[in-house]
Amino acid sequence: MIKLFSAILLNLIFIASFAQTQLQSPEQFLGYELGDRFTRHHKVVEYFQHVAAARPNNIKFIQYGETYEHRPLVVTIIASEENFKNLEQIRLDNLKRTGFEQGTPATNVALVWLSYNVHGNEANSTEASMKTLYDLANPANSKTQEWLKNTVVMIDPCINPDGRDRYANFYNQYGNYPADPSPDATEHREPWPGGRANHYLFDLNRDWAWQSQTESQARIKLYNQWMPQVHVDFHEMGYNTPYFFAPAAEPLHEVISKWQREFLNMVGRNNAKHFDENGWLYFTKERYDLFYPSYGDTYPTYSGAIGMTYEQGGGGFGGLTITTKEGDPLTLKDRLTHHYTNGLSTIEVTSQNAAKVTAEFEKYFKENLTNPASPYKTFVIKAENNADKLNRLAAWMDTHRIQYGHPSAGKSTKGFNFKTQTNSSATVSTNDIVINIYQPKGRFVTTLFEPQSNLGDSITYDITAWNLMYAYGLDGYALNERINVAKPYEQQKAENSNVASKPYAYLFKYQSMEDVKFLAAMLKNDFKVRSSEKAFSVGGNNYDRGTLIVTRRNNESIADFDNALQTLAKKMNRKIYTTSTGFVDSGKDIGSGDVKFLKAPKVALLGGDQTSSLGFGEVWHFFERQLMYPVTVIGTDYFKSISLAKYDVLIIPPGRYRMFDDELLGKIGKWVSDGGRLIVTSQALNSFSDKKGFGLKEYASEEAKKAAEKSETQTAKDNVLVPYDEAERKELESAIFGAIYKVTLDSSHPLSFGLGDYYYSLRTTPMRFDYMQNGWNVGTLRGNVKPLMGFAGYKANPTLSNTMVFGVEDKGRGQVIYLVDNPMFRSFWENGKMLFSNAVFVVGGM
């Protein structure tokens, strides 16, 4: 009651203050000039709320989500009074232009969305957002009020508040007084992990498409309710670099329209005009491309907007002031003024061309709906694929408003077969999922599913392949013909009627991440679980390798065992199989030594300085937010002092390690021999290869090593006369940024359970390791190797032929698992998570 009363009172105060709020500038509101300090997120939010309260007929404040650390994610919408009254109509009209809503638009207003500070330590952006907001909100500013007549602006002051406050708190703590411009000062050197990433250390500017993070999920939902025509993602880069703005660098994906390219130029020219007036340095058409679909510029671009990245020099090094290579000071004020200027310039040029911007936007989607240019018109996902994977992909497509479903009739046709990577005959059935590109998100669909993305220029900023058919390991086709959706896809539910009440054992298939989550939940709830290493049949059903078996025996301590297990299985949508006997019809009996007991592992994860913050965060997030299984993070700085004996599994994420000296490797080796399971990923393998006690070798023999060195020496000799302006291209010859390779699996090894004979691997480094002489070469690249998709330097491929990608070394009572490719990369490789989970839970069964 008291609570209710005080809530009413608060509301009254709030309403009262509404009426008398006078619009304040950021300086008036904060009590200091922008650029004098880094403003913490809660104050920024308060300022945005203040402005909304002061201009209630022009500004709408929306909280659209919350970060992992419980900071609010907010957007404000700024409009003229007239447009503000019609805001919902304007939004719906805009969706009519895209085809998401039916009907003809009655309004004609452009929509600009400005997103700030996705990288937390690129911290001028949020400061700039307040200045930009104030100018747009200020009725005395005749220029901005004129633009708002035909343009609505949305401002997200901070996409990544957790990372940004991490940076702001760091700087507030370490900053000198007065600020020290020397780049050597601690205030310019953030400690690990820095403020760039979010709580789980994900790069949110790589997550727009995959949406692994809560910030992305909340934002994409809002984004797709509005679908702006112009989107700017504000960034910072090295402090010695002049400003970058549109047009973008090559490669530009082929789906980008002529108008999008044209308007990028128009925006660039307008920004240049303002920069020229002030004499500020800038560059365009270099470095920042439009290709990988999960950025804050490409995602909007593939959704019909003019998507752009703006980059100011500064970033985590910048502080309040720093001395550049020219010996000049670069201040926070300079930096925020540049972002502010370009933010307004973008609104200006949009407003000047508002009618054209909306007309072209409409045209883009008309083309999508009626006459899309890309050669592959329909992607078919076979019904025979694992139902969990289909469910998951479907749910993910829903978040992007991608349209899909079942066709009205089956047919025989021709198409690209993702399993064989050939053009061959293709059968489409009425249970398959079809996704055609005659839809609002058609171009986005193309970038995600096309068998090959044409890379106009191989110098790119990121991975060059990401196809979801390979990421999920799905069978299906890409067709040149259109197949329409006739029926909606329904999430598949496990049928569980007539489950035997007191069986000898329960059996569960093990083929997807949902099965892994179920295994993790059983182990967490103290169920004793076994895994069959051999296929078998019993009671008329066939069971693959990896099948999970929960016997009545050993589970006597679980209260109301049958009910508890069945309830958990039903809750997690698992199909329950039972057997009344341990005597199988074929294969090994349930009591056989080939049916291994899986101990619930106590898992330790190495984190902190020297680990790759991204690689560490991927595993951390996986355990806490996907598997819901406990993990203990142990810091690199005290790792040596802890007792490993308490843990069953130790995960060493990718990183550049200095800590693994002979003594520590000896300690870890002994722990493995005593029964520990060590998982080492990607660059971390360098600390274990060719080391005493570990079987990992870059080259199997001295001869092979010498041969490789000889060829390297020859390359170096050849490169002596490389012309100055070809050096960058020369480096590409041995590079792999991110390409998809087909890895042969030993499907009989537990590391492969649930995956089959092949695994499509996203490889992001040219690292190579030879076949292990005393270990299981579970994943291998055999014969002549080249990627199925994406770019790899022509010199990189031959070095990968006949190499180990995933290996398991048995050592005493334990195992070392080597993962050369990082299966957890950006948390979007669904099959990679399965492989990784096998390493954690299934390998080393007793």
Q: Which residues bind Zn ion (CB under 5 A)?
A: 119, 122, 235
Residue 453 in contact with residue 469, Cβ under 8 Å? Answer: no
Phi, psi of 738 (to 5 degrees): 160, 100
Q: Least distance from C-beta 315 to Zn ion, angstroms?
A: 7
Q: Least distance from C-beta 38 to Zn ion, angstroms?
A: 16
Closer CB to Zn ion, residue 119 or residue 677?
119
Residue written as token pair 């402005």: 51
Residue 567 CB contacts under 8 Å (≥ 6 apart), including other chains? none
Q: Where are the alpha helices (DSSP H) in 417-493?
A: 442-449, 468-472
Show contacts of 423-426: CB within 8 Å, 24+ apart: 426/380, 426/477, 426/479
Closer CB to Zn ion, residue 612 or residue 686?
612
Q: Least distance from C-beta 122 to Zn ion, angstroms?
A: 5
Closer CB to Zn ion, residue 51 or residue 232?
232
Q: Least distance from C-beta 310 to Zn ion, angstroms?
A: 10
Closer CB to Zn ion, residue 234 or residue 741?
234
Q: Least distance from C-beta 43 to Zn ion, angstroms?
A: 22
Closer CB to Zn ion, residue 202 or residue 404?
202
Q: Least distance from C-beta 826 to Zn ion, angstroms?
A: 16
Q: Least distance from C-beta 242 to Zn ion, angstroms?
A: 16
Enter the DSSP assignment of 637.
T
Q: Least distance from C-beta 656 to Zn ion, angstroms?
A: 21
Q: Least distance from C-beta 47 to Zn ion, angstroms?
A: 23
Choose among 302, 434, 431, 432: nearest CA to 378. 434
Phi, psi of 40 (to 5 degrees): -75, 155
Helix (H) or strand (E) holding 779: strand 776-781
Phi, psi of 37 (to 5 degrees): -150, 170
Closer CB to Zn ion, residue 315 or residue 608?
315
| Single-letter amino acid code for the residue at 304 | G
Residue written as token pair 């439009």: 290
Question: Three-state DSSP class for 669?
Answer: helix
Choose among 140, 143, 151: nearest CA to 83. 151
| Single-letter amino acid code for the residue at 402 | I
Q: Least distance from C-beta 746 to Zn ion, angstroms?
A: 41
Residue 750 CB contacts under 8 Å (≥ 6 apart), including other chains? 531, 533, 546, 596, 838, 842, 843, 844, 845
Q: How far apart are CA 734 and CA 155, in angstroms?
A: 42
Closer CB to Zn ion, residue 257 or residue 346?
346
Q: Least distance from C-beta 245 to Zn ion, angstroms?
A: 14
Closer CB to Zn ion, residue 122 or residue 348?
122
Q: Least distance from C-beta 271 to Zn ion, angstroms?
A: 18
Q: How far apart are CA 287 and CA 90, in angstroms?
A: 36
Q: Least distance from C-beta 235 to Zn ion, angstroms?
A: 3
User: Residue 251, preceding bond cis, omega within 30 degrees?
Assistant: yes
User: Residue 653, preceding bond cis, omega within 30 degrees?
Assistant: no
Q: Least distance from C-beta 309 to Zn ion, angstroms?
A: 8
What is the chain's Cα-based Rg?
A: 29
Closer CB to Zn ion, residue 117 or residue 780?
117
Enter the DSSP assignment of 227.
-
Closer CB to Zn ion, residue 237 or residue 519?
237
| Single-letter amino acid code for the residue at 115 | S
Closer CB to Zn ion, residue 233 or residue 770?
233
Is the C-alpha dihedral spanning 465, 469, 475, 478 positive or negative? negative
Choose among 128, 315, 345: nearest CA to 235. 315
Q: How far apart are CA 149 and CA 807, in angstroms?
A: 63
Choose among 312, 378, 842: nearest CA to 600. 842
CA distances from 486 to 382, 386, 396, 409, 432 (A): 16, 22, 20, 9, 11
Q: Least distance from C-beta 205 to Zn ion, angstroms?
A: 6
Q: How far apart are CA 496 and CA 571, in angstroms?
A: 11
Closer CB to Zn ion, residue 194 or residue 779?
194
**What token pair was written down for 537?**
């049949």
β-bridge partners, 611: 655
Q: Least distance from C-beta 23 to Zn ion, angstroms?
A: 31
CA distance from start to end of the chain: 59
Q: Least distance from C-beta 196 to Zn ion, angstroms?
A: 7
Q: How far apart are CA 769 and CA 695, in angstroms?
A: 11
Closer CB to Zn ion, residue 293 or residue 546?
293
* Residue nearest Zn ion by beta-carbon distance: 235
β-bridge partners, 566: none
Q: How far apart are CA 561 and CA 39, in angstroms?
A: 55
Closer CB to Zn ion, residue 208 or residue 364?
208
Q: How far apart are CA 98 and CA 82, in angstroms?
A: 23
Q: Where are the alpha helices (DSSP H) in 626-680?
A: 662-673
Closer CB to Zn ion, residue 237 or residue 387?
237
Residue 259 in contact with residue 364, Cβ under 8 Å? Answer: yes
Residue 141 in contact with residue 135, Cβ under 8 Å? Answer: yes
Closer CB to Zn ion, residue 160 or residue 229?
160
Q: Least distance from C-beta 601 to Zn ion, angstroms?
A: 37
Closer CB to Zn ion, residue 316 or residue 823?
316
Closer CB to Zn ion, residue 181 or residue 316?
316
Residue 401 in contact with residue 440, Cβ under 8 Å? Answer: yes
Helix (H) or strand (E) holding 809: strand 803-811
| Single-letter amino acid code for the residue at 312 | Q
